[in-house]
Amino acid sequence: MSLTAQVGIELDGFTLDLALAIRAGRTTAIVGPNGAGKTTLLRALAGLRQLSTGRIELDGTVLDDPASGIYVPPEHRPVGVVFQQHLLFPHLDALDNVAFGLRTGGLRRREARVLAADWLERVGLSGRERARPAELSGGQAQRVALARALAPEPALLLLDEPLAALDAATRNEVRRDLRRHLATFAGVRLLITHDPVDAAVLADDVIVLDGGVVAQAGTPAEITARPRSRWVAELIGTNLFVGRAGSDGAIVLEHGGTLTAADHLRPGPVFVVVHPRAVALHLRQPQGSARNAWPGRITAVEPVGDRIRVHVAATPAIVAEVTASAVREIGLREGTDVWVAVKATEIDVYPR
């Protein structure tokens, strides 16, 4: 099972032109700023907008190919969509929202409701069957939207900023749940987001979209470590670690090293995000207030736009982003021994 798409869309002077090839069982994140063409791409894959040029093929079936006059309308595509703002039907309760796609698929009301109840249970919403969307919390609505999209068993699942409508506190929890549910979906998964943490936590591959074309593609680790342009760095170029929070608040990282965060942590597996701008480099061991400090050696100094990204081999290895004048003044170059310092307040932790 796989999705291959060559997407060409012209609209109002904006051109979307990109190629996608995604295998089933993997999650690909499309990352880009507003206006990059993310939502247009999603609508084309769902069939809500026709291609100008190109071809979309899912599991060997051509869904859109203007050159040979093929266009499969959305209702006949095996595609499920989790929309931004969830877009649950306000006149239907949670159960009938999930049952909607099963009914249009030909199931009788009773059978559809039995299956829909199973799906609600699977996303942990047993007992909320009769709740209207207006009565659900943001996190619950997100889970109903996911169950609704998955219930008809699509071959391709599209998620459009699935976490954007949630407040920050709910987002971490829902992100972790979403990751678990995505792992159980066997088809092709495509996630649209502007949040590098979503991409890093939820995706196996990342495609950065800018002005309708692919700016960079790779695994989250590759892109976060080596963003190819200033704005990719701004968007997604962050330090990402996998680790486990202990009961003492220290996070033991998978590839060695320990970090201390300011937040009170629940023990368990976590992602840790440290923005390169929050990483300070010193020639001697720092005496200041930074809770995290460890020695290393500079392996690369690369200018990205008007900033310099300094790669430091250490435990853990990390990227710092500093100004060109800072590099000159303290003489940072490849091979320099440095101390890395990060304040505990600059360490963002996400349960995984």
Partner 1 sequence: MLLFAVPLAGLLWRAPWSSAWRELSSGPARDALRLSLITSLSATAVSIALGVPLAWVQARIAYPGKRLVRALTTLPMVLPPVVGGVALLLALGRRGVVGSQLDRIGVNLPFTTAGAILAETFVAMPFLVLTLEAAFRTVDRRLEDAARTLGAGRFVVFRRVTLPLVAPSLVAGTVLCWARALGEFGATITFAGNLQGRTQTLPLFVYVKLEGSAPDSAIVLSLVLLVLSLAVLIGLRDRWLTAR
Evaluate whether 93 touches 79 at the Cβ level (below 8 Å). no
Nearest CB to partner 1, comparing residues 142 and 216: 142
Site residues for partner 1, 114-153, by CB under 8 A, read 148-149, 152
Least distance to partner 1, CB of residue 25, Å: 21
- DSSP secondary-structure letter at 323? E
Among 3, 44, 81, 236, binds partner 1 (CB under 8 A): 81
**Planar angle of CA 60, 28, 225, nearest 5 degrees:** 145
Among 20, 27, 64, 83, binds partner 1 (CB under 8 A): 83
Among 50, 104, 219, 345, binds partner 1 (CB under 8 A): 104
* 282: phi then psi, degrees, rounded to nearest 5: -130, 150
Residue 79 in the binding site for partner 1 (CB under 8 A): yes
Compute how many residues bind partner 1; rule: CB under 8 A.
Answer: 25
- Amino acid found at 70: I
Least distance to partner 1, CB of residue 212, Å: 21
Residue 33 makes CB contacts below 8 A (sequence gap 6+) with: 194, 210, 231, 235
Among 35, 73, 246, 295, binds partner 1 (CB under 8 A): 73
> Parallel, antiparallel, or unpaired for β 188-193 and 156-160?
parallel
Nearest CB to partner 1, comparing residues 75 and 248: 75
Neighbours of 119 (CB within 10 A): 22
- Peptide bond before residue 316 is cis, with ω within 30 degrees of 0: yes
> What would you report as the CA-atom Rg of the chain, rounded to the nearest whole angstrom?
23
Least distance to partner 1, CB of residue 145, Å: 9
Chain positions contacting partner 1, by CB under 8 A:
43, 46-48, 73-77, 79-81, 83, 85, 87, 89-91, 100-101, 104-105, 148-149, 152
